[in-house]
Amino acid sequence: MARIIKETVRGLDVVALEDELFLNREIFLTEEVNPETANELIKELMVLEAEDDEAEITLYINSPGGEVTSGLAVYDYLTMMRAPIRTVSIGTAASMGAILFLAGDKRQMLPHTRLMIHDPSYGHADMSGKKPHEIQHELDKLNETREVIAKIISVKTGKSMEEVYKATADDTYYNAEEAVAFGLATEIATWDTLRKRG
């Protein structure tokens, strides 16, 4: 864990870098989205909102995506919070990482970062040995998830569901300018806009 030396009333203290950033209301998702990372994010958000439900929280994202259920739990929590949320893409926000990026009231991308959106894929074991109605049940659930994801993208970008489905049929990557044009991001970050609070 990275540490920094900070001058305090007690003199020089060694402080964990993550703790210092957390005190500045800056948190990070730099791993796959799964139950553990989702739970950790939600706990951090709960603490920050309890401290101040009016001050902006910044979530930096560099994630390949991951499990849909865990990701949607974080998305729901982010969109229900009273505190304003700013999301910043600092690498590649892909799949569920891109959906969490969309939860921000302000959505900034560093100039050379990318977003990737696509339809959800079937992530369970193979279907060998399953009966037709069991396979159909799995396909129905996958299509329901596809619709949920598409609605989120449609609402946040202002694009029609048809436009979203066309974009998510394959892995579609957007650079910062393309993401702003499509409505996924609200702006390309500069030093001044990145460090501006609130």
Active-site residues, by number, are 95, 118
Cβ burial 54-71 (10 Å sphere, 16+ → b, else e)? eebbbbbbbbbbbbbebb
| Distance between CA atoms of residues 70 and 77, nearest Å | 11
